């Protein structure tokens, strides 16, 4: 026995609850550091904030990127090892209780139970047994029976499986860790800035060397729109995206912050935007033909742009602004070959009707934006979610469900039969006492037993 214990010194260390409490406490305490000291800033920033020496110490201890540091990872590994071994260690005992043969429980144990009561029966042992089974059945307790030396023992239980709730919660945490690991090993985070009207088939890794990752398809940004509330607060960032392969459009979606695009195991999130300096997006509609065309104009590097189908030439010749709301005004030169060209000022994002001899046009000019997309591939995320669901269910089982057991021993002594009714619950003793009280009442009032209470 002692030999076995000594041999398992490592096992026992990892199986201890003291270690679990220590690890939980250490994880909590060290986690605070990363919330106070800014993470993943430039080295010079730390020197500026804390001075040369402290910054150097931070760097050595990876405190500037502590949640990915070797020592924090070591703590997490210690935590999961402890959790695994604790769970394995306790599983056999829990399983024994779940599958226990409660009809072989020693009678002396029943007689000592805290919740118990004895009833006298006016009928013989066999009839009493039938009555017990009937009363318990009516109260929702399906009883099994076995003949014992002392009499007939009836037993019924509910929620034996709920004892596995602890295992479920511990497993759920490990499942979440496995999911996170799968994501780390087989997934990536990347980003790309995609100007309106352009396409890409590569994105760039968010961490490390920002190396390019081929998508295996083409992603195009048709348009980016941002809108504001009348208070000036941003209301929506929207990118119209199209996925294509070999020149064939496969999927189009307009994405906003909480509604990403999913394709080919990748998810594209709306993350940021940027106005491209010197470039403008114009949309021009011809009233007579109904034709509509998008253009990307440049200023000051380009004079005028041609729309051959409508024989229109137009361009930006001057810019004013921005005003207090960060909006610009553009001076437009416009010609459609009929009459002299028009020049006029228009506001950003404000459609303007251009009246020309013989035809009218509608023009809207705004900055050309590049949409900032965040790309994630995380094959582990579903494992994480399964772990999360397991955790919630497990916690509900642990805290709000209990294992309730009820025994009834029917015995005969000198021609008089009696019933010992007793029970236990591993949790919610108060609730269980109520169940037992109503069962006592069922026994006391039963016509089959014609019985009276006996203390």
Partner 1 sequence: MNSSQLLGITIFAYLLASILYIAIFIFRAKKLGVVASLVTVAAWLIQTAGIIMRWVESYKMGYGHAPLSNMYESLVFFAWAIAIIYLWIEWKFKNRLIGAFVVPFAFISMAYASFSTEFGRTIKPLVPALQSNWLIGHVVTCFIGYASFAIACGLGFMYILKDRREQAKKENKQKSDGLIDTLPQLRLIDDAIYKTIVFGFVWLSTGIIAGAIWANTAWGTYWSWDPKETWSLITWFVYASALHARFVRGWNGRRIAWIAILGFVSVIFTYYGVNFLLSGLHSYGSA
When the beta carbons of 21 and 77 are compared against partner 1, the nearer one is 21
Burial of 316 (0-12, 13-18, 19+ CB in 10 A): buried
Tokens 């000594």 — which residue? 6
| Contacts with partner 1, 132-151, as mask; x by CB under 8 A | --------------------
Tokens of 148: 């014992």
Among 130, 257, 306, 309, binds partner 1 (CB under 8 A): 257
When the beta carbons of 391 and 449 are compared against partner 1, the nearer one is 391
Label each residue of 61-113 as H, E or C: CCHHHHHHCHHHHHHHHHHHHHHHHHHHHHHHHHHHHHCCCHHHCCHHHHHCC
Distance (Å, whole) CA 398 – CA 438: 25
Residue 231 interacting with partner 1 (CB under 8 A): yes
Per DSSP, the three-state class of 322 is: coil
Residue 236 interacting with partner 1 (CB under 8 A): yes
- Minimum distance of partner 1 from residue 39's CB (angstroms): 7
User: Chain-centre distance of CA 1, in angstroms?
Assistant: 46
- Minimum distance of partner 1 from residue 269's CB (angstroms): 5
Among 7, 140, 234, 351, binds partner 1 (CB under 8 A): 234
Residue 229 interacting with partner 1 (CB under 8 A): yes
- Minimum distance of partner 1 from residue 38's CB (angstroms): 8
Contacts (CB under 8 A) with partner 1, residues 266-285 = 267, 269-271
Report which of 245, 361, 271 is spatially closest to residue 309, judged by C-alpha positions: 361
Residue 349 interacting with partner 1 (CB under 8 A): no
Stretch that binds partner 1, among 101-109, 134-142, 197-205, 395-403 (CB under 8 A): 395-403
**204 near 190, Cβ under 8 Å?**
yes
DSSP 106: -
Rounded to a whole number of angstroms, the CA Rg of the chain reads 38
Distance (Å, whole) CA 271 – CA 203: 14
Residue 385 interacting with partner 1 (CB under 8 A): yes
Distance (Å, whole) CA 235 – CA 223: 17
**Number of residues binding to partner 1, judged by CB under 8 A:** 47
- Minimum distance of partner 1 from residue 32's CB (angstroms): 7
Contacts (CB under 8 A) with partner 1, residues 36-55 = 36, 38-39
Residue 325 interacting with partner 1 (CB under 8 A): no
When the beta carbons of 38 and 339 are compared against partner 1, the nearer one is 38
Tell me the helices (H) and strands (E) count for the chain, helix number first: 11, 20
Distance (Å, whole) CA 272 – CA 275: 11
Find all residues with CB under 8 Å of 368, minimum gap 6, and list them.
195, 196, 197, 275, 276, 279, 280, 281, 296
Residue 188 interacting with partner 1 (CB under 8 A): no
Residue 374 interacting with partner 1 (CB under 8 A): yes
Among 5, 11, 24, 95, binds partner 1 (CB under 8 A): 24
Residue 185 interacting with partner 1 (CB under 8 A): no
Residue 291 interacting with partner 1 (CB under 8 A): no
Residue 233 interacting with partner 1 (CB under 8 A): yes
| Contacts with partner 1, 58-97, as mask; x by CB under 8 A | ---------x------------------------------
- Minimum distance of partner 1 from residue 398's CB (angstroms): 9
Distance (Å, whole) CA 8 – CA 162: 30
Per DSSP, the three-state class of 80 is: helix
Residue 205 interacting with partner 1 (CB under 8 A): no
Tokens 């007689």 — which residue? 111
Residue 399 interacting with partner 1 (CB under 8 A): yes
Angle at 299 between CA 297 and CA 305, to 5 degrees: 40
Label each residue of 370-382 as H, E or C: EEEEEEEECCCHH
List residues binding partner 1 (CB under 8 A).
Answer: 17, 20-21, 24-25, 27-28, 31-32, 34-36, 38-39, 67, 180, 189, 229, 231, 233-237, 256-260, 267, 269-271, 374-376, 378, 381, 384-385, 388, 391-392, 395-396, 399-400
């Amino acid at each position: 026995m002692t030999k076995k214990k000594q041999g398992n010194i490592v096992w026992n260390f990892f199986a201890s609850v003291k270690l679990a409490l220590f690890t939980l406490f250490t994880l909590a305490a060290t986690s605070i550091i990363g919330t106070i000291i800014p993470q993943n800033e430039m080295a010079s920033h730390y020197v500026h904030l804390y001075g040369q020496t402290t910054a150097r110490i931070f760097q050595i201890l990876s405190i500037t990127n502590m949640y990915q540091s070797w020592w924090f990872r070591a703590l997490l590994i210690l935590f999961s090892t402890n959790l695994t071994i604790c769970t394995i260690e306790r599983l056999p005992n829990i399983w024994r209780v779940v599958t226990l043969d409660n009809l072989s429980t020693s009678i002396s144990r029943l007689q000592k139970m805290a919740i118990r009561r004895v009833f006298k029966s006016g009928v013989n042992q066999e009839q009493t047994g039938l009555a017990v089974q009937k009363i318990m059945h009516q109260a929702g307790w399906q009883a099994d029976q076995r003949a014992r030396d002392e009499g007939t023992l009836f037993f019924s239980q509910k929620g034996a499986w709920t004892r596995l709730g602890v295992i479920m919660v511990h497993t759920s945490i490990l499942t979440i860790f496995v999911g996170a690991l799968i994501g780390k090993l087989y997934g990536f985070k990347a980003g790309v800035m995609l100007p309106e009207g352009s396409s890409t088939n590569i994105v760039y890794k968010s961490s490390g060397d920002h190396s390019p990752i081929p998508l295996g398809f083409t992603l195009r940004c048709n348009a980016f729109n941002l809108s504001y509330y009348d208070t000036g607060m941003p209301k929506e960032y929207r990118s119209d995206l199209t996925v294509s392969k070999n020149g064939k459009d496969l999927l189009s979606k307009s994405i906003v912050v909480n509604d990403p695009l999913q394709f080919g195991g990748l998810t594209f999130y709306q993350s940021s935007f940027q106005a491209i300096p010197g470039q403008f997006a114009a949309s021009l509609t011809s009233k007579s033909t109904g034709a509509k065309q998008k253009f990307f104009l440049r200023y000051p590097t380009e004079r005028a742009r041609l729309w051959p189908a409508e024989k229109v030439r137009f361009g930006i010749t001057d810019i004013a602004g921005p005003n207090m709301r960060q909006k610009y005004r553009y001076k437009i030169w416009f010609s459609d070959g009929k009459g002299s060209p028009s020049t006029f000022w228009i506001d950003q994002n404000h459609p303007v009707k251009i009246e020309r001899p013989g035809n009218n046009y509608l023009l809207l000019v705004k900055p050309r934006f590049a949409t900032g997309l965040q790309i994630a591939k995380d094959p582990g995320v579903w494992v994480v979610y399964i772990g999360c669901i397991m955790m919630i269910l497990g916690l509900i089982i642990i805290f709000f469900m209990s294992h309730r057991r009820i025994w009834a021993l029917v015995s005969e002594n000198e021609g008089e039969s009696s019933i010992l009714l007793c029970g236990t619950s591993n949790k919610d003793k108060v609730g269980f006492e109520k169940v037992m009280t109503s069962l006592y009442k069922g026994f006391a009032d039963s016509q089959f037993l014609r019985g009276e209470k006996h203390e």
